Chains A and B, each alone.
Chain A
Amino acid sequence: MARIIERPSISERLAKLNESVQGSQAWNSIFRPGSIFRKGYTDSPRNRSYVIMNSVLYHLHPVKVKRHAVKVSYTLCLGGLSFFLFILLTVTGIFLMFFYRPTAAQAWNDIYTLQTAVAFGLLVRNMHRWAAHLMVLSVFLHMARVFYHGAYKPPREFNWVIGVQLLMFTLLLSFTGYLLPWDQLSLWAVTVGTNMMGYTPVFGTQVRFVLLGGVEIGTDTLLRWYVLHVLMLPFVLVIFMAIHFWRVRKDGGISGPL
């Protein structure tokens, strides 16, 4: 005789979990009137709109988005993750700046001391390094995703152009950061890279001179690339990102389903 065991389905379990969370004391003390939300928060279409409309998030997101736009399988979150990695890199980068001096005599020692003598120094440097590589990868994959969805087609042509610039700036940011530890890896990787740029027709020598701040890589190059890496390129990148995100919304949100 078959015994039918009534097991709650996943959606039932989730509903139950939701109920118990929202019924909990912690939830009610956060969302009660006068707490984080001045008038309290209850789940209603009106309040859902207010969460976006009455907060800084309104600069980034509309109140409502197309249903297919929230499908993770469509965007794979790549654009958003690229932005998030940029934020993560800024935070970890600021931490690193406290312990680093961009001169040939001090740079390597500062990194070494950071790794051995500063609390969480090694961890934060690792995160900065791996997040940088991951960001190059995610921006690249985001570009591929956009192409394969035909999302660069009118009215989004210009945003694609901005996007390619963003990929370029991401590569430049990563490349300028590569030199800063001032070890054998960075010195020679940058030597190879800048030698290639030295073959620019007509202005080759000048391009290389401007990039290196001299005829060969030295302490001037280090200062130059440091300023590019921590200030100028992030500044330009932020402006381009602002245009990019603004255009995404002005062009009607993310592209439609295939």
Chain B
Amino acid sequence: MTEIPEHLLKRAAEARAKAAAKGGGDAPAAEGGDAPAGGGAAVATAERTAVATTGAAAPLATGPAGHTQRLLTVVKAGSIQDVRATPVDKVHTWPHLLLAEFVAALACTAFLLIFSIFVNAPLLALANPNLTPNPSKAPWYFLGLQELLTMFHPMVAGVTIPGMGLIVLILAPYIDKNPSNRPEDRKVAIGSMTIFLMFWAVLVMIGSFFRGPGQNFVFPWKDGIFFDL
């Protein structure tokens, strides 16, 4: 049971005193209306007495300790009024969002169409299991892993490191418990993610453009590019 706030008790006492001094029944009636909403509580009062009709001299019916009002319950403001702490500024999805999405989709299609008119997808000679091209490269997004193969045992490069990376990536929200999303509060998270992304980006770049025959290091501007998308 919640404690009855101090000021309400005080006000009730005052009202009681006032009613007693007046000897009439109309004082409590004014009480219910001005419950302080800002104080965090609203008081639900029930008049114990019937509305005092006529200025009868007969004393009003009172409670055990001479109460003319009864406090039924104290209710916290938030449980009745759903007050949003910060009102959210919203706009209609149509046209504001849909139009942007439509334009983005259109631009994307246009880009792909024009790019596809001028640049053909590679189609090399028919697959021949007896003729290994030199170098043989994986698709570009796996070239980071292939690059690791030059440094580590295949199990470490092909399974352990990507597996660990993937698990850490999946668990990122459970590892990073920092509730803030402001960049200045997240230096460690942003720093480590940037290092992670750059690590793979650099490996993919090296694997794509700086590896030639025999997986040897080459400079693309000197020896040419050994890379097909």
Contacts and interface: CB of A to CB of B under 8 A. Distances in A.
A167 B220 CA distance: 30
B91 interface: yes
Contacts of A212: none
A199 interface: yes
A144 B197 contact: yes
Given A77-B101, A81-B104, A130-B116, A152 B90 contact: no
B182 interface: yes
Given A84-B104, A201-B155, A160 B183 contact: no
By CB atoms of chain A within 10 A, which of B88, B92, B131, B149 has the most? B92
Contacts of B116: 123, 126-127, 130
Contacts of A62: 93
- Interface range on chain A (Cβ under 8 Å from partner): 35 or more
Contact of B105 (A57, A66, A81, A128): A81
B91 A65 contact: yes
A65 B97 contact: yes
Nearest to A71: B100
B54 to A, nearest CB: 55
Nearest to B197: A144
Interface string A139-172: 0000010011111111011001100100010010
B181 to A, nearest CB: 3
A226 interface: no
A112 B123 CA distance: 8
Interface string A77-88: 100110011001
A218 B157 CA distance: 26
A101 to B, nearest CB: 15
Interface centre among A125, A126, A168, A197 (most CB of B within 10 A): A126
Nearest to B117: A123
Nearest to A129: B121
Interface in B24-43: none
A148 B193 contact: yes
B164 interface: no
A238 interface: no
A193 B197 contact: no
Given A123-B116, A125-B121, A151-B181, A183 B95 contact: no
B179 interface: yes
A122 B169 contact: no
A15 interface: no
A84 B95 contact: no
B90 A192 contact: no
Interface string B151-174: 000110111000000100110111
How big is chain B's contact interface, by range? 35 or more
A78 to B, nearest CB: 10
Given A127-B112, A256-B181, A136 B190 contact: no
A239 interface: no
Interface stretch (A2-10, A25-33, A43-51): A43-51
A241 B45 CA distance: 54
A123 B140 CA distance: 22
A153 B189 CA distance: 12
Interface of B: 88-98, 100-101, 104-105, 108-109, 112-113, 115-117, 119-129, 131-133, 136-142, 145-146, 149, 154-155, 157-159, 166, 169-170, 172-174, 176, 178-183, 186, 189-190, 193, 197, 228-229
26 contacts: A48-B92, A49-B92, A57-B93, A63-B92, A64-B92, A69-B97, A77-B100, A80-B105, A111-B123, A123-B116, A126-B120, A127-B116, A129-B121, A148-B190, A154-B179, A181-B123, A183-B123, A184-B131, A185-B124, A188-B133, A189-B138, A192-B138, A197-B159, A199-B159, A200-B155, A216-B129
Given A69-B97, A131-B112, 13 more contacts: A80-B104, A85-B108, A112-B123, A123-B113, A127-B113, A128-B121, A150-B181, A150-B189, A160-B170, A183-B123, A183-B124, A196-B159, A199-B155
7 closest cross-chain pairs (CB), A and B: A150-B181, A196-B158, A126-B116, A157-B173, A129-B121, A187-B127, A188-B136
